[in-house]
Amino acid sequence: MGSFNIALSGLGAVQTAFDIIGSNITNAGTEGYHKQIVQLAPSYTSSTNAGGVKVINISRIVDTLLEQQIYQQNAALAQLTQENNTLSSIETAIGELSADGSGINAAIDSLFTSMQELKLSPTDSISMTQLVSNAEALTSQFRNIGEYLTTLEETIAKQTEIAVGTINSITAQIGKLNNQIESVELVGGNANTLRDQRDQYISDLSQVIGVQTIVRGNGVTDIVAGDIPLVVGSSVSTLATGVDSNGKIGIMIKGGISINTSVNGGSLGGLITLANDKVVEIHDNLDNLASSIINQINKYHVQGIGSSGSFTELTGWANSSGNLSEIPNVSAGFTYIRVTNTSTGESTRTAIPVLQDTSSDTLAEIADYITNNVSNISAYVNSSNQLTIAANSGYEFDFIPEIDSSPATTTIASTDPPQIKLSGYYNGTENNTWTFTATAGQVGTDNVTITVRDNDSNVVATLDLSDYPATTDTSSANTKWLEIGDTGISIAISANTFNAGDSFTVNVYGNTDTSGLLSAVGINTFFSGDSAINMAVCSDISNDHSRVAASLSSSGNEGGNIARLYNLQNASIEELGNLNFSDYYRQIVTDVGQDVSSGKTYQENLEAIVLNLTNQQTSISGVDINEEAAHLMIYEQMFQSMAKYMEVLNSSITELMNIL
């Protein structure tokens, strides 16, 4: 009977081998399948050296280290692919290489070109219309890209939720398979097919998030991702998305409080990196540019007037708070309001304190101060925190820096003092008080000089009146105006007498809104909004192009303010890293392009690495049909030999029985 047992063991081993070879061939094209082999060993009897054969194991051919490397590289590739695809779409949206030249930089150039044209003819209605049209085209460009990025951020947030749902679905399957594998292998069963299924799920999971695997006994594999234990045996952690206190997207165990915003690997890692860093940085930079254009242009525009002249009423935009400390871009300083009697032309200027003390830290307090301290002007704030300033009948107001026609103070001891008249506007940037000190003598006759000094006693100019053709009346048509250096201010002095040391002071204004109040609350501004998505030309300007504040003087027909606005084109803006508007936007585009270019290069390298690793995996774990066919022939011969062996045994026993 031992001989029959030997034959039967051989036939059993061959049958098992046939089954495994058949499984290998059938699954040669199945993703995630690992080739299996039958491991045989001699089976000895206790009474003789002879014996049969036994199947000691059916093994999967797996290089565990190689599999781990594939998981890691697949995760890195999936993340990079997600990032590159998104950044490429952004590059297309904000690119400056469009055939029609319709990018933001082109729109910025067009805006300043129209400012230059208006500077040459400050009251030309066609030039004003072109300026407003170009400004609206620029704001449209910003809004379009702002809306695109906002929609993209919302899409990324939704895709993040979908990716987390995919993770939860996959980990549930892995936990289930861990349980089945352990149950089979605890009783000595073969769970290779279940292991393949589980490992394929792990591979799929690595496409969504970077994973670490921990192999335990009885075929169980634990999964950790982002320092979160996703699968421990058959126990599975359900993930959810969350937003931390800094507004960053992350993942967390459902019901937990700790949010992980530093997720690496897989499409989820790419989405979170895009949401928290790359897309938000691009969006922030674009908003920073839009905000800078708005603020820089508005801070000058509020100080000028258009060809339509000064104002009888202005209303700002709605603010979320009436507290000045909560309104962006307002700081401690003064706003200077100039009120003119339209009948006499006489004007007065009043400094409005802003954030100077507790009585000037809300919009309502500013309105009260204006009403109580500025003659013929009233102001109020409504429930939407909008500031309105209105003039009484027969009066108008503005914020132009045009110099007061008369000195601010005088200490002239002469019994026959000269008349003094000033005109123009200061071309400096800081407010100052100049002191004019005269030598003794009669203007227009004696060698009189006047030294002009600023607050720091620096000499601004020295006026030599020895050849000055003074008249007896500074209002005369024959009045000679004397320029005070290159400051933009001129002075006229009548033919009267100064005593030695006679002096007077003049206030000059380089900035009539040092607090930034007017531009912050929307009084006489050109642009509205504070970011790309809500940037717009103010409706007052769109509805009345003559409100474009080209002038800094009460005449409204010179281009001093539009010249200041035009000079912003090449100005270095601190908020933009000391770049001008165009260079800053060009830097945004360049940075995105460099990210895409370097990302694609890295992606190509990763694809080559993954392909190489996959080829290695195939050579180790993949099924070679020719090799399996060769094994099949070997086992076929073994089967035939065992059958012959049994036939011989059977014939021998039959012959023996016949003899007996």
Q: What percent of the chain has pLDDT over 70?
A: 97
DSSP annotation of 108 reads H
Which runs of consecutive H residues, i.e. helices, occur in 380-437?
A: none
How far, CA to CA in Å, does 374 sit from each of 247, 330, 336, 337, 349?
A: 45, 21, 10, 8, 8
Domain boundaries in the chain?
2-61+625-659, 63-210+264-308+543-618, 312-401+512-523, 409-508
SS3 193: helix
654 or 569: which leads in pLDDT: 569
Q: Which region among 5-14, 65-74, 276-285 has the lowest average model confidence (pLDDT)?
A: 5-14
**Predicted TM-score of the model (pTM):** 0.86
8 A C-beta contact, residue 275 and residue 86: no
Is 498 a residue whose pLDDT tops 70?
Answer: yes
State the pairing for strand pair 420-424/377-381: unpaired
Q: Looking at the domain that runs over 312-401+512-523, which CATH code has it been given?
A: 2.60.40
Q: Measured between alpha carbons, how far is 131 from 116 in angstroms, rounded to an integer?
A: 10
By CB atoms closer than 10 A (0-12, 13-18, 19+), residue 325 is exposed
The mean pLDDT of 249-267, rounded to a whole number, is 91
Token reading at 477: 């048509």
Residue 603 sits at the vertex; the CA angle it makes with 602 and 608, to the nearest 5 degrees, is 100
Please, how many CA atoms are within 13 Å of residue 149, restricted to the half-sphere of its CB? 26
8 A C-beta contact, residue 251 and residue 143: no
Q: What percent of the chain has pLDDT over 90?
A: 70
- pLDDT band at residue 627 under the 50/70/90 scheme: confident
Instruction: Provide CB contacts within 8 A for 462, sequence distance 6+.
Output: 449, 450, 451, 452
Q: Measured between alpha carbons, how far is 566 from 575 in angstroms, rounded to an integer?
A: 19
Q: Measured between alpha carbons, how far is 452 from 242 in angstroms, rounded to an integer?
A: 65
Nearest to 262 by CA among 252, 273, 271, 247: 273
Token reading at 315: 């209303």
How far, CA to CA in Å, does 457 sit from each of 437, 452, 473, 572, 574?
A: 12, 9, 31, 30, 29
8 A C-beta contact, residue 405 and residue 456: no
At position 439, the amino acid (one-letter code) is T
Q: Which residues pair with 349 in a beta bridge?
A: 338
8 A C-beta contact, residue 174 and residue 205: yes
Instruction: Provide CB contacts within 8 A for 298, sequence distance 6+.
Output: 519, 525, 526, 527
Token reading at 88: 């490429």
Is 292 a residue whose pLDDT tops 50?
Answer: yes
Looking at residue 616, its pLDDT comes to 86
Distance of CA 536 to the CA centre of its chain: 20
- pLDDT band at residue 466 under the 50/70/90 scheme: confident
pLDDT in tens, 354-382: 999 999 999 999 999 999 999 999 999 99
At position 146, the amino acid (one-letter code) is G
Phi, psi of 551 (to 5 degrees): -110, 150
Is 650 a residue whose pLDDT tops 80?
Answer: no
- pLDDT band at residue 45 under the 50/70/90 scheme: low
Is 142 a residue whose pLDDT tops 60?
Answer: yes
Ranked by mean pLDDT, the top range of 189-203, 387-401, 467-481 is 387-401
8 A C-beta contact, residue 133 and residue 140: no
Looking at residue 97, its pLDDT comes to 43
What one-character-per-residue DSSP string does 51-91 give? EEEEEEEEEE---HHHHHHHHHHHHHHHHHHHHHHHHHHHH
HEC-encoded secondary structure of 408-471: CEEECCCCCCCCEEEEEECCCCCCEEEEEEECCEECCCCCCEEEEECCCCCEEEEEECCCCCCC
Which residue is associated with the tokens 């059977």? 650
Computed on alpha carbons and rounded to an integer, the radius of gyration of the chain in Å comes to 43
Looking at residue 101, its pLDDT comes to 55
Nearest to 256 by CA among 217, 285, 229, 289: 229
pLDDT in tens, 187-213: 888 888 898 899 999 999 999 999 999
Instruction: Provide CB contacts within 8 A for 374, sequence distance 6+.
Output: 337, 339, 350, 352
- pLDDT band at residue 26 under the 50/70/90 scheme: confident
DSSP annotation of 360 reads G
In the chain the first and final C-alpha atoms are separated, in Å, by 18
DSSP annotation of 431 reads -
Average pLDDT, the chain: 90
Helix and strand counts by DSSP (H, E) for the chain:
13, 26
SS3 424: strand
What one-character-per-residue DSSP string does 644-659 give? HHHHHHHHHHHHHHHH
Report the run of H or E that residue 368 belongs to, with start and end: helix 363-373
Q: Which region among 86-95, 327-336, 398-407, 531-540 has the lowest average model confidence (pLDDT)?
A: 86-95
- pLDDT band at residue 657 under the 50/70/90 scheme: confident
Nearest to 114 by CA among 124, 101, 104: 124
Phi, psi of 206 (to 5 degrees): -65, -20
Is 56 a residue whose pLDDT tops 50?
Answer: yes
Q: Measured between alpha carbons, how far is 419 from 580 in angstroms, rounded to an integer?
A: 46
Phi, psi of 113 (to 5 degrees): -65, -40
Phi, psi of 339 (to 5 degrees): -115, 135
The mean pLDDT of 621-636, rounded to a whole number, is 78
Is 64 a residue whose pLDDT tops 90?
Answer: no
Ranked by mean pLDDT, the top range of 31-45, 65-79, 218-232, 524-538 is 524-538
